[in-house]
A = this chain, B = another copy of it.
Amino acid sequence: MKRQGAFAAVIAILMLAALPAAAQDPLPSWNDTGPKKAILAFVAKVTKQGTPDFVPPTQRIATFDNDGTLWIEQPMYVQFEFMVDRVKLQAAAHPEWKTEEPFASLIEGDFKRALARGEQDIVAAMSATHAGMSTESFERIAREWIRTKRDARFKRPYITLVYQPMLELLNYLRANGFKTFIVSGGGVEFMRAFAEDAYGIPPDQVVGSSGKLKYQMRGDVPEILKLPAVDFVDDKDGKVIGIQKFIGRRPIAAFGNSDGDLQMLEWTAAGKGPRLALLVHHTDAAREWAYDRGSHVGALDKALDIAIAKKWTVVSMKDDWNAIFPKQ
């Protein structure tokens, strides 16, 4: 009995030693304002066993938009910058692009003119730059580019232009038994090339837009070829469909920043029990960018009105975050 008592004391000491983080602030880049309080209260509620609000770990699904929610999306989606670089690299082999849209405008760096005709041009540019190669070749190209290409304003590689408060939030949720997913309009193969290193989110937890694929043999080596055809667009209603197709369970927490995230937040919030629906509002022109209604990327208009009406959590980057990017 004595020995067991000593063991119990040692175990208690070991457990205390293993839990120094519990006393630390899990969200140090978040100011002690409303959004941080809402997040902490939500997590405390769903993890408290023996209460009606308790949610078993297997159902703690959290979904995150990527562009503008986890990393930068101004002055143009990062993946579009990648597309432009790919077009420029391939231009020598395509003399017809000098006069053919959207390629001519993309080579000149005029995004607005390049995409003026809408979806057909985006699909044409994506097909020319994201298809006609194996998935493994594409991954190598995208992985290298994201690690080395620098943003024009911040002079940092794109992989470092992720939001420090959201990195803390991802870790905090995972430490509390949540499974974290990306559900984004971005290309799934592009996002998978950095999501694990940047966010700790493995490829199978990345849901995104995608092109059609073909399994084939190159000689006696099998490969998966990326075809120049759209398979799935993970935006607006498509985000809810993407959640069902790829995750198969309704999230209890969802995070976005634009009207493209409205349906995902609506679907998440409409479930039974405690829910967290959160919008990042870009209000910080000095440290990042300030934009919402009418922005050419990441427009936040209808979703902002609904968030306010439904009392969803709205983060003002300027007021609620004391850091934007990780320290370099």
Query: Which A residues form the contact surface with B (CB < 8 A)?
Result: 7, 10-11, 14, 58, 61, 135, 179, 181, 188-189, 192, 196, 202-206, 210, 213-215, 221-222, 224, 231, 237, 240-241, 244-249, 263, 266-267, 270
Contact = CB atoms under 8 A, between A and B. Distances in A.
B247 A203 contact: yes
A153 to B, nearest CB: 31
A167 to B, nearest CB: 18
Contact of A240 (B61, B179, B224): B224
A205 B7 CA distance: 40
Given A263-B215, A267-B215, A196 B58 contact: yes
B266 A241 contact: no
Contacts of A179: 202, 204
Nearest to A221: B270
Contacts of A266: 222
Nearest to A200: B58
Contact of A248 (B10, B206, B237): B206
A245 B212 CA distance: 9
Nearest to A196: B58
Given A204-B179, A249-B203, A249-B204, A244 B224 contact: yes
Contacts of A267: 215, 222
B203 A248 contact: yes
A64 to B, nearest CB: 14
A248 B188 contact: yes
Contacts of A192: 248
A215 B234 CA distance: 13
Contacts of A244: 135, 213, 224
Contacts of A249: 202-204
17 contacts: A7-B10, A58-B202, A61-B204, A181-B204, A188-B248, A189-B248, A192-B248, A202-B249, A204-B205, A213-B241, A213-B245, A214-B241, A215-B237, A222-B240, A222-B266, A224-B240, A224-B244
